[in-house]
């Protein structure tokens, strides 16, 4: 027999959506914030020649720059004030979360509840400013010498004034995006930072598809290859949807309780554990840790590629070994995804706390003693499930990258981008459905109160 929540979910229609005024306000706010993000991506940094920058990007593109440009929604190509996107904020979040698991004072802050969470968020913002300042300065230095060998200058007036203004612009753009993401999370629908990343990826999708179809129409690409790519992408999306909904349901029993008629009844429920508990966080974290240093290296290497090129040989060599699609890059990327999958799963699912809550409410897993034995069982089960989830994430993110970079398949929307788009879309739709269900519950409660008042 279906539960009340499942029946309400089945009865959701367009009429119920039209009555949910708060949900519509949240959706309009989210849409407006994402439109503002797209408008900001077209505002260039002060002192940049947009036409020269576009022509230089065509010569410099490839590898990590294309990948990062996709994540930023084309902001890097235009060198806008939000060229760094939210990647410094994500990197800072990684450092703070790692510190919260390893550094004892921050561990105590995590246990303080809302107050401790606010302090850690403040530390994340301070670290974001520091990282963006360092990265922005190096990018400004690289832009001054970019295109020296081609005789094209991307910077109108190089000098310390340009470096300071460019760094301030990049810091301001990243902090503004961070603020927009936090506002979407609190006043809109979905996770704000994830939606901003998804919006940047989706913005580049029409151009990618147009290039693919144009190649098939012009004859530069085999028509069978174009059809194969489309079918493979559709199959990949379906596989991602299947794996994201897959879960292990752990049976939980509660002591027998006496019903109103005097009979003894034993309650049972299920504790769902998703195969991919970490969601889209591991690929985003791993990408952030690899993309930001590589972007600075490639920009700085291009800027130093002039008369004093001997001083930048080690930068160029390091950038070559770590370029997007290289074996070392793929190995580090896969290791980063697996590491953050285990790390973030441990953060999301606290075995000790879950076992303690079950024991407090009288629940137990059949065949497992409450308390420490239940905690050990959860750790064992979570490790096995996370191995499957980590393998799934690594395969989804690496196999398309290998095909695109090594086999020369001309489709640049990789598995990481598809995973982010599909996962964030599913999460947003799920939150919309939750708001609609809550709205219908509210209507039922109001009707019940009105009927009760009339009987009186």
Q: Where are the domains of the chain?
A: 4-446
Global pTM? 0.78
- Residue range 210-226: mean pLDDT, rounded: 79
Least confident range from 203-212, 264-273, 393-402: namely 264-273
Q: Which two tokens stand for residue 269?
A: 């429920």
Beta strands in 376-455 (DSSP E): none
125 vs 74, higher pLDDT = 125
Task: Evaluate whether 389 touches 341 at the Cβ level (below 8 Å).
Answer: yes
Task: State yes or no: pLDDT of 308 exceeds 50.
Answer: no
Q: Contact, 264 vs 256, CB < 8 A?
A: yes
pLDDT of the residue at 301: 53
Identify the residue with better confidence: 445 or 269. Answer: 269
Average pLDDT over residues 291-315: 55
Which residues does 123 contact at the CB level (< 8 Å), separation at least 6? Answer: 96
Question: CA–CA separation, 443 vs 27, rounded Å?
Answer: 20
SS3 call for 154: coil
The tens digit of pLDDT for each residue in 75-108 reads: 777 888 888 888 888 888 888 887 877 778 887 8
Which of residues 411 and 2 earns the better pLDDT score? Answer: 411
Q: Which two structure tokens, joined as six digits, stand for 360?
A: 């407090």
Q: What is the mean predicted confidence (pLDDT) over 186-206?
A: 86
Has residue 9 got a pLDDT over 60?
no
pLDDT band at 307 (very low <50, low <70, confident <90, very high): very low
First to last CA, the chain: 34
Query: How confident is the model at residue 31, as a pLDDT?
Result: 92
With a pLDDT cut of 90, the percent of the chain lying above it is: 11
CATH number of 4-446: 1.10.3370.10
pLDDT band at 6 (very low <50, low <70, confident <90, very high): very low
Q: Which comes out higher in pLDDT, residue 11 or 445?
A: 445
Cβ(21)–Cβ(259) under 8 Å? Answer: no
Position 127 confidence tier, pLDDT thresholds 50, 70, 90: very high
Q: What is the DSSP letter of 45?
A: P
Question: Which of 414, 410, 407, 421 minimizes the C-alpha distance to 211?
Answer: 410
Phi, psi of 306 (to 5 degrees): -125, -140
- Classify strands 264-274 and 247-258 as parallel, antiparallel or unpaired: antiparallel
* Helix/strand/coil for 206: helix
Give the chain's mean pLDDT. 78
Task: Check residue 36 and give its pLDDT.
Answer: 93
Would you give the DSSP letter of residue 312? G
Task: Band the pLDDT of 311: cuts 50, 70, 90.
Answer: very low
Whether 249 has a pLDDT exceeding 90, the answer reads no
Express each pLDDT in 176-191 by its tens digit. Answer: 999 999 999 989 888 8
The angle formed by the CA atoms of residues 174, 179 and 181, to the nearest 5 degrees, is: 95
Note the pLDDT tens digit of each residue in 362-416.
Answer: 788 888 888 888 888 888 888 999 999 999 999 888 877 777 666 555 555 667 7
Q: Average pLDDT for residues 129-151, to the nearest whole number? A: 80
């Amino acid at each position: 027999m279906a539960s009340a929540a499942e029946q309400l979910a089945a009865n959701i229609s367009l009429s119920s959506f039209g009555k949910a005024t708060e949900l519509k306000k949240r959706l309009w706010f989210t849409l407006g914030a994402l439109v503002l993000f797209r408008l900001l991506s077209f505002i260039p940094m002060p002192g940049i020649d947009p036409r020269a920058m576009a022509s230089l990007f065509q010569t410099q593109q490839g590898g990590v720059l294309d990948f990062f440009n996709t994540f930023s929604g084309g902001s890097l190509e235009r060198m806008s004030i939000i060229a760094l996107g939210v990647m410094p904020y994500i990197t800072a979040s990684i450092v703070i979360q790692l510190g919260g698991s390893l550094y004892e004072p921050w561990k105590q802050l995590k246990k303080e509840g809302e107050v401790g969470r606010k302090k850690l968020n403040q530390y994340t913002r301070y670290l974001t400013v520091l990282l963006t300042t360092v990265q922005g300065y190096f990018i400004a230095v690289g832009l001054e010498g970019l295109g020296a060998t081609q005789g094209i200058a991307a910077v109108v007036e190089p000098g310390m004034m340009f470096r300071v203004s460019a760094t301030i612009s990049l810091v301001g753009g990243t902090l503004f995006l961070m603020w927009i993401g936090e506002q979407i999370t609190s006043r809109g629908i979905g996770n704000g930072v994830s939606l901003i990343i998804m919006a940047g990826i989706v913005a580049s999708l029409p151009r990618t598809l147009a290039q693919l179809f144009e190649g098939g129409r012009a004859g530069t690409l085999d028509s069978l290859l174009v059809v194969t790519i489309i079918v493979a992408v559709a199959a990949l999306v379906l596989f991602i949807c299947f794996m994201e909904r897959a879960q292990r349901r752990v049976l939980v029993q509660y002591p027998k309780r006496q019903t109103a008629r005097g009979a003894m009844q034993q309650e049972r429920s299920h504790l769902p554990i998703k195969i991919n508990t970490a969601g889209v966080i591991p690929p985003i974290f791993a990408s952030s840790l690899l993309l930001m240093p590589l972007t600075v290296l490639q920009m700085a290497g291009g800027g130093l590629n002039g008369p004093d090129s001997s001083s930048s040989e080690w930068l160029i060599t390091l950038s070559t070994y770590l370029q997007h699609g290289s074996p070392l890059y793929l190995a580090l990327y896969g290791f980063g995804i697996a590491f953050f999958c285990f790390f973030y799963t441990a953060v999301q699912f606290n075995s000790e706390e879950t076992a303690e809550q079950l024991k407090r409410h009288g629940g137990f897993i059949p065949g497992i003693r409450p308390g420490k034995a239940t905690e050990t069982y959860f750790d064992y089960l979570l490790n096995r499930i996370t191995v499957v989830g980590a393998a799934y994430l690594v395969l989804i993110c690496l196999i398309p990258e290998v095909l695109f970079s090594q086999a020369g398949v001309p489709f640049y929307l990789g598995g990481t981008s598809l995973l982010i788009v599909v996962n964030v879309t599913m999460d947003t739709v799920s939150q919309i459905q939750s708001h609609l269900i809550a709205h219908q519950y509210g209507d039922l409660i109001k009707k019940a109160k009105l009927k009760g008042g009339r009987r009186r």
